[in-house]
Structure 1
Amino acid sequence: MKIIHESAKISSLADIEDSVRGSRVVIGERTMIDSFVKIKFAGGLGDVVIGEDSYINSGVVVYSGNGVSIGSRVLIAANCTLAAANHEYKDPERCIVDQGFMESRGGIVIEDDVWIGAGCVILDGAKIGKGAVIGAMSLVRGEIEPYGIYAGNPIQRIGFRK
């Protein structure tokens, strides 16, 4: 089910799939979804919720998995991947594709007023605190403190906004 506020702007070149399992995509007021953004329901039953006044730039891919919550006034730069699911791989007697998905690590939560730089990968279990800045090409798989400035792979704290 898609719930898109009438004031949201979605590029005709964006691809927002419908869930076959009943999960929702909710897009808030005045949020902009640019060309070549892909929102795909895969790996779980989670919803994708994007708050108001957020901007999702070209080439961003969001896999719903265990749920993705993006706050208000969030900026996500080009070519980022948000993957709220992980493939299971522990049984060497079975192909990975046949093992399904791992248990949830809590989905992805991005609080308000966050800037995520180009090319970042945000994984299941990530929580990015309010006002944080994530440097380009960073990998986030845990908790990021509010107003922190982070860069690197894996994430390294390099300061605070306040």
Structure 2
Amino acid sequence: MLIIDPSAKISPLADIEDSIRGTRIKICERVAIDAFVKIKPAGGSGDLEIGAGTVVNSGCVFYTGNGIRIGKDVAIAANCTFAPVNHEYLKRDVLIVAQGFRPSKGGIEIGDDVWIGANCVALDGARVGNGCVIGAGSVIRGVLESYGVYGGNPLRMLGTRV
């Protein structure tokens, strides 16, 4: 089910797939979604909500998996991937694509007023607090405390917001 606020600005070159399994995709007021953004209900039945005033730049990909909640007034730079799902792979005698998915780590939650730099990847179980800044090229996993500045791979705290 697609729920798109009339004030949202979505490029005609964005690709937002509707779910056949009942996943709810909600795009709130004043959201801006650039060209070549892909939203794909895959890997689970979690919902996706993009909060008011959020900007999603070109080339970002959202797999709904175990669910994604993006807060208000978030800036997401180009080419970021949100993947709240993991393939199972432990059985060596079964092809990975035939093993299904691992148990959920709770999806992805991004707080309000967050800036995510270009080419970041957010993984299942990521919790990003309000006001965080995530450096370009980071892998986002686990809990990032509010108002931290994070970067590198694996993530390490670089300082606090002034």
**TM-score normalised by the shorter chain: which range applies?**
over 0.9
Give the TM-score normalised by structure 1.
0.99
User: What's the CA shift string for 1:22-67, capped at 9, x where partnerless?
Assistant: 0111001010000000000111110000110000000000000000
Give, in whole Å, the separation in 2 of the partners of 1:51 and 1:78.
18
Query: Residue 8 of structure 2 corresponds to which residue in structure 1?
Result: 8
Query: Residue 47 of structure 1 corresponds to which residue in structure 2?
Result: 47
Query: Residue 61 of structure 1 corresponds to which residue in structure 2?
Result: 61
Give, in whole Å, the separation in 2 of the partners of 1:45 and 1:160.
36
Tell me the percent identity.
60
Work out the number of aligned pairs and report it. 162
Q: Secondary structure of 1:105's match?
A: coil
Query: Residue 81 of structure 2 corresponds to which residue in structure 1?
Result: 81
Query: Residue 139 of structure 2 corresponds to which residue in structure 1?
Result: 139
- The alpha carbon displacement at 1:141 in A equals 1.1
- The alpha carbon displacement at 1:139 in A equals 0.4
Q: Secondary structure of 2:97's match?
A: helix
After the TM superposition, which residues 1-162 of structure 1 pair with which residues of structure 2 at under 5 Å, given as runs?
Answer: 1-162=1-162
1:115 partner letter: W
4+ aligned runs moved over 2 Å, structure 1: none
User: What's the CA shift string for 1:71-97, capped at 9, x where partnerless?
Assistant: 000000000000000000011010000
Give the TM-score normalised by structure 2.
0.99
**Structure 2 unpaired stretches of 5+:** none
